[in-house]
Chains A and B, each alone.
Chain A
Amino acid sequence: MTNLNPSQNTSRFARFMDSDVLHSFLRSPSAMIAAFITLIFILAALFAPLLAPYNPFDPSQISLWDGKLPPSFAGGDERFFLGTDNQGRDMLSTILYGGRLSIIVGLAAVFLGMLLGVTLGIISGYLGGTFDAVIMRIADVQLTIPGILLAILINGVGRAFLPVDIRDEFAIYVVIIAIGLSDWPQFARITRGATLVEANKEYIASARVIGLPSWLIMMRHLLPNVLRPVLVLATLGLATAIISEATLSFLGQGIPPTTPSLGTLIRVGNEFLFSGLWWITLFPAIALVILVFSVNLFGDWLRDALNPKLR
């Protein structure tokens, strides 16, 4: 099926330019700032190797002699703007690399949860029957347990099943799977709810009368129409996933200190907090909070903007 022609594209673009969502975005300074900061973080994560003054994973660039130096503006060495950690790694560089890891894990986990949840949700909602009953019972039960606890439990069990020597190597995948598995039911439930509403609408009945097969109805008609709430959930879910990863790492159950994420950095720094090395904890913590806050702020705005009832 070819449905690409220039006039349609301009029309779609015009639709976007004229949409209430864009209008609301341009009139909400907090949404714009949030989107801007989130974008900066994502770009910084993408280009961390180019932006970072040092490579914290290259032993030749690290010297224990440079360890525990305070930030340059607080009496430290001017080579290290945000100071160094206990092993002499430049904090600014480690935060850039750590943020990169946090965002990658967050995105991957949300994507996994979304893929699983949306697929199961649409099939459940549209086909119903036993499949629906089973999937939704599982989701119901899982939803009563908070995601972070599940992530901790799944992660713990997952680690236990891995032999000790490869545990660190595969830690990142275990974390992604643990977080992704812990939030698919939210996606499934919201998708199923939207699917039930949409499936009762007459354009679906009409597609069935035309004789389109179920898979085509789900892909072409249902999917685009249920994505709005999923989009909101995915944005807010990204914030939660980043927190979850940081929490797991902070608990020492996540990303190992050899390739630290923001959570791992805070964990390491926390051990030196009492001895006055505040910068090792403070800067990663600030980076984490700003990142999560701007994603949340953007998600919050998106939810209100896409919900016509609240306007």
Chain B
Amino acid sequence: MSELLKITDLNVEFVARRGTIKAAQDINLTVAPGEVLGLVGESGAGKSTIGNAIVDLLEHPGRVAGGSILFQGEELRGKTEAEMRSIRGDRIGMIFQDPQTALNPLMMIGDQLIETIIKTRGYDQKRAYECAIELLEGVGIDNAKVRLKAYPHQFSGGMRQRVVIALALAGKPELVIADEPTTALDVSIQAQILDLIKQLCEERQLGVIIVTHDIGVIASIATRVAVMYRGKIVETGKVAQILGDPQHEYTKALISAVPRADKKYHRFEAVDYIEGGATRKPIDIATHWLGKSRHQSDDQTPAVLVKNLDLSFTLQNALLKKNRKMLRAVNDVNFDIKQGETFGIVGESGSGKSTIARLIAGLYTPDRGEISIQGQSVLGNQRDANIKMARRKLQMIFQDPYSSLNSRLNVMNIVAEPIRFYKLTSSEAETRQIVGDLLDHVGLGASVANRFPHEFSGGQRQRISIARALATRPQILICDEPTSALDVSIQAQILNLLKDLQEDLGLTMLFISHDLPVIRQTCDRIAVMRSGQICELAETEELFNNPQHEYSQHLLGLMPKLDLLG
């Protein structure tokens, strides 16, 4: 097989104030025509850098420090900007992550396509126009003639990504570099876009490099895969071989951390390769302050009860009621969560799952319906002492570890805030002692109390959030996509931690996620949501083995096939 692209000993570095960062080190890669090479790694592994280095679009202050990039036998390094420009688009196409921002908002997509076709193929206006129609049809956009006159904001996210792909293919490139092409899209759209890329690759004998953090994407599209870790390729090979029988320790850790949808484990294994040092020092719950709130009452009252819940958002306000555009985010939802169980809500973006979490947490007020926590209704006057007491039993962990901590406060003040506010301790010294214990308990260690959030990684920040949530001694914990912003290996650690905490403290959990495998690994019962309504509510094993509702079956069918994993 002749090679389309051959990279040898490529080094990329970023010269920063605190020293040079080696973003990619001694990279060796090949791509053949008709082959999809997956470049997989966690954030900061340097995988995007390689794509940008190939087409010489590294962002300042990045630069290629050494090595060679042979494209169709031609050395790309040392080419002038003008020479590179004739290669970009013409012979190497790029697809970016976010279709929302990749298109010029003020230009009709037809004009953007025609402009690119004229530049890359040298066609005249009329031929370029016909070619643009052909391209749009080729990426599965119906009614292409009319759609050429549309502006980007008139397309949905998935359709926009198709336009981006059409633009990338406008110059008939031999190589396409796709940087996280499906990360910003919903699962069902994701599958369509991956199919499209695969189909185009086979039809046109393209070489494709797909950069992703998602093993599922690799499993469903790539022929070969290169695993990256901290700027280096640790392992390369056929997909089946790497996923089924990984050799390198990191690959093993990475793959074991991927949540499986086909079977349930108790805990994730072998995930400490990546962020070690998170040694947990559990405290003796029976005697500790933290354990004193453990629920003693009868287990018959549901921890959370939700009845006929409704909430609409106004999309567009208008003077007349009939002109108002409303979105029914939550539509007549009913369920209850038993003491000590983990209840999962799964659905695609916009299904209303996070809205329910926020309703229960009191961040939104429902239009109609009832919410009670351990038998106490929590709607109505929020100053009522009973409602306040009930609300304190419930805490929440959020999705984005980078925005869920106030960057102006240190860890001590973040975690101590609820304790001080509710005067849960008798002295400041005791507060400090307890904060230290909490930090030990979540595996950070009491010594971090004086540091500020920016000094921590995403996973560590999520641990701080968990410590803060525990500080009111809650009995119910709402986890709203707590790991979707984290790398898989960190995700596994956090999920393990939540599991341990639940066992130690007997917590009830409401777990919200879009990720079916994660839901399967964590929950006892699951509600599947679409358009604000629950389609199906079942025991986990029952749902995964025998889904009843059409939509659940559809969702389960979209899950990446990970049969390749051992």
* Distance in Å: Cβ of B401 to nearest Cβ of chain A: 9
Q: Is residue A1 within 8 Å, beta carbon to beta carbon, of the partner chain? A: yes
Q: Is residue B465 within 8 Å, beta carbon to beta carbon, of the partner chain? A: yes
Count contacts on A: residues with CB < 8 A to the other chain: 24
* Distance in Å: Cβ of B411 to nearest Cβ of chain A: 11
Q: Is residue A11 within 8 Å, beta carbon to beta carbon, of the partner chain? A: yes
Q: When each residue 211-244 of chain A gets 1 if its CB lies under 8 Å from chain B and 0 otherwise, what string results? A: 1100010000100110000000000000000000
Contact-residue bracket for chain B:
35 or more
Q: When each residue 377-400 of chain B gets 1 if its CB lies under 8 Å from chain A and 0 otherwise, what string results? A: 000000000001001101110111
Q: Is residue B412 within 8 Å, beta carbon to beta carbon, of the partner chain? A: yes
B395 touches A209 (CB 8 A): yes
**Residue with the highest number of chain B CB atoms closer than 10 Å, among A202, A206, A221, A224:** A206
* Distance in Å: Cβ of B101 to nearest Cβ of chain A: 14
* Distance in Å: Cβ of B277 to nearest Cβ of chain A: 21
B363 touches A8 (CB 8 A): no
A208-B363 contact, Cβ under 8 Å, with A11-B451, A15-B452: yes
Q: Is residue B450 within 8 Å, beta carbon to beta carbon, of the partner chain? A: yes
Q: Which residue of A lies closest to B471 (CB)?
A: A210
Q: Is residue A2 within 8 Å, beta carbon to beta carbon, of the partner chain? A: yes
A11 touches B450 (CB 8 A): yes
Q: When each residue 382-426 of chain B gets 1 if its CB lies under 8 Å from chain A and 0 otherwise, what string results? A: 000000100110111011100111111010110001101110000
A221-B472 contact, Cβ under 8 Å, with A23-B17, A206-B465: no
Residues of A within 8 A of B408 (CB): 224-225
B398 touches A206 (CB 8 A): yes
* Distance in Å: Cβ of A6 to nearest Cβ of chain B: 10
Contact of A203 among B405, B421, B469, B472 (CB under 8 A): B405
A225 touches B407 (CB 8 A): yes
Q: When each residue 1-41 of chain A gets 1 if its CB lies under 8 Å from chain B and 0 otherwise, what string results? A: 11100011001000100001001000000000000000000
Q: When each residue 186-217 of chain A gets 1 if its CB lies under 8 Å from chain B and 0 otherwise, what string results? A: 00000000000000011101111111100010
Q: Is residue B67 within 8 Å, beta carbon to beta carbon, of the partner chain? A: no
Residues of B within 8 A of A216 (CB): 421
Q: Is residue B361 within 8 Å, beta carbon to beta carbon, of the partner chain? A: yes
Residues of B within 8 A of A23 (CB): 17
B400 touches A208 (CB 8 A): no
* Distance in Å: Cβ of A196 to nearest Cβ of chain B: 13
Residues of A within 8 A of B410 (CB): 8, 11
Residues of A within 8 A of B398 (CB): 202, 205-206
Q: Which residue of B lies closest to A197 (CB)?
A: B403
Residues of A within 8 A of B413 (CB): 3
* Distance in Å: Cβ of B540 to nearest Cβ of chain A: 27
Q: Is residue B428 within 8 Å, beta carbon to beta carbon, of the partner chain? A: yes
Q: Is residue B362 within 8 Å, beta carbon to beta carbon, of the partner chain? A: yes
Residues of A within 8 A of B468 (CB): 206, 210
B392 touches A211 (CB 8 A): yes
Q: When each residue 190-212 of chain B gets 1 if its CB lies under 8 Å from chain A and 0 otherwise, what string results? A: 00000000000000000000000
Q: When each residue 282-325 of chain B gets 1 if its CB lies under 8 Å from chain A and 0 otherwise, what string results? A: 00000000000000000000000000000000000000000000
Rounded to whole angstroms, the CA-CA distance of A224 and B472 in the bound complex is: 24
A209-B361 contact, Cβ under 8 Å, with A8-B410, A202-B398, A203-B406: yes
Q: Which residue of A lies closest to B420 (CB)?
A: A1
B392 touches A205 (CB 8 A): no
Residues of B within 8 A of A211 (CB): 388, 391-392, 418, 421-422, 472
A203 touches B403 (CB 8 A): yes
* Distance in Å: Cβ of B345 to nearest Cβ of chain A: 17
B412 touches A8 (CB 8 A): yes
Rounded to whole angstroms, the CA-CA distance of A7 and B446 in the bound complex is: 14
Rounded to whole angstroms, the CA-CA distance of A216 and B421 in the bound complex is: 10
B396 touches A209 (CB 8 A): yes
Q: Which residue of A lies closest to B401 (CB)?
A: A202
Rounded to whole angstroms, the CA-CA distance of A212 and B409 in the bound complex is: 16
Q: Which residue of A lies closest to B391 (CB)?
A: A211
A202-B404 contact, Cβ under 8 Å, with A3-B413, A8-B412: yes
B472 touches A210 (CB 8 A): yes
* Distance in Å: Cβ of B249 to nearest Cβ of chain A: 34
* Distance in Å: Cβ of A244 to nearest Cβ of chain B: 33
Rounded to whole angstroms, the CA-CA distance of A3 and B417 in the bound complex is: 10
**Residue with the highest number of chain B CB atoms closer than 10 Å, among A8, A11, A209, A212:** A209
Rounded to whole angstroms, the CA-CA distance of A60 and B399 in the bound complex is: 73
A212 touches B421 (CB 8 A): yes
Rounded to whole angstroms, the CA-CA distance of A226 and B350 in the bound complex is: 30
Contact of A7 among B362, B418, B450 (CB under 8 A): B450
A202 touches B17 (CB 8 A): no
Q: Which residue of B lies closest to A23 (CB)?
A: B17
**Residue with the highest number of chain A CB atoms closer than 10 Å, among B417, B450, B452, B469:** B417
* Distance in Å: Cβ of A210 to nearest Cβ of chain B: 5
B417 touches A210 (CB 8 A): yes
Contact of B403 among A11, A20, A202 (CB under 8 A): A202
Rounded to whole angstroms, the CA-CA distance of A218 and B413 in the bound complex is: 16
Residues of B within 8 A of A208 (CB): 362-363
A202-B400 contact, Cβ under 8 Å, with A1-B420, A2-B428, A212-B421: yes
Residues of A within 8 A of B17 (CB): 20, 23
Q: Which residue of A lies closest to B421 (CB)?
A: A212
A221 touches B363 (CB 8 A): no
A201-B450 contact, Cβ under 8 Å, with A1-B420, A208-B362, A224-B408: no
Rounded to whole angstroms, the CA-CA distance of A206 and B412 in the bound complex is: 16
Rounded to whole angstroms, the CA-CA distance of A11 and B394 in the bound complex is: 33
Q: When each residue 464-496 of chain B gets 1 if its CB lies under 8 Å from chain A and 0 otherwise, what string results? A: 010011001000000000000000000000000
Q: Which residue of B lies closest to A7 (CB)?
A: B450
Residues of A within 8 A of B406 (CB): 203, 207, 221, 224-225
Q: Which residue of A lies closest to B412 (CB)?
A: A8
* Distance in Å: Cβ of B160 to nearest Cβ of chain A: 24
Contact of B421 among A7, A209, A210, A221 (CB under 8 A): A210
Q: Which residue of B lies closest to A24 (CB)?
A: B17
A202 touches B399 (CB 8 A): yes
Q: Which residue of B lies closest to A18 (CB)?
A: B18
* Distance in Å: Cβ of B314 to nearest Cβ of chain A: 12
Rounded to whole angstroms, the CA-CA distance of A179 and B391 in the bound complex is: 47
Q: Which residue of A lies closest to B361 (CB)?
A: A209
* Distance in Å: Cβ of A96 to nearest Cβ of chain B: 39
Question: 8 Å CB contacts to A: which residues of B432-455?
Answer: 450-452
Residues of B within 8 A of A15 (CB): 452
Residues of B within 8 A of A210 (CB): 395, 417-418, 421, 468, 472
Q: Which residue of B lies closest to A222 (CB)?
A: B406
Q: When each residue 1-33 of chain B gets 1 if its CB lies under 8 Å from chain A and 0 otherwise, what string results? A: 000000000000000010000000000000000
Residues of A within 8 A of B452 (CB): 11, 15
* Distance in Å: Cβ of A92 to nearest Cβ of chain B: 44
**Residue with the highest number of chain B CB atoms closer than 10 Å, among A7, A15, A203, A221:** A203
26 CB-based A-B contacts, threshold 8 Å: A1-B420, A8-B410, A11-B410, A11-B450, A11-B452, A20-B17, A23-B17, A202-B398, A202-B399, A205-B363, A205-B398, A205-B404, A206-B465, A206-B468, A207-B406, A209-B391, A209-B394, A209-B395, A209-B396, A210-B417, A210-B468, A211-B388, A211-B422, A211-B472, A212-B417, A224-B408
A: residues with CB less than 8 A from B are: 1-3, 7-8, 11, 15, 20, 23, 201-203, 205-212, 216, 221, 224-225
* Given A1-B420, A206-B465, A212-B417, 16 additional A-B pairs, CB 8 A: A2-B428, A8-B450, A11-B450, A20-B17, A23-B17, A202-B399, A205-B358, A205-B361, A205-B396, A207-B406, A209-B396, A211-B391, A211-B418, A211-B422, A225-B406, A225-B408
B: residues with CB less than 8 A from A are: 17, 358, 361-363, 388, 391-392, 394-396, 398-400, 403-408, 410, 412-413, 417-418, 420-422, 428, 450-452, 465, 468-469, 472
Closest 7 CB pairs of A and B: A202-B398, A202-B404, A201-B403, A224-B408, A203-B406, A210-B418, A209-B396
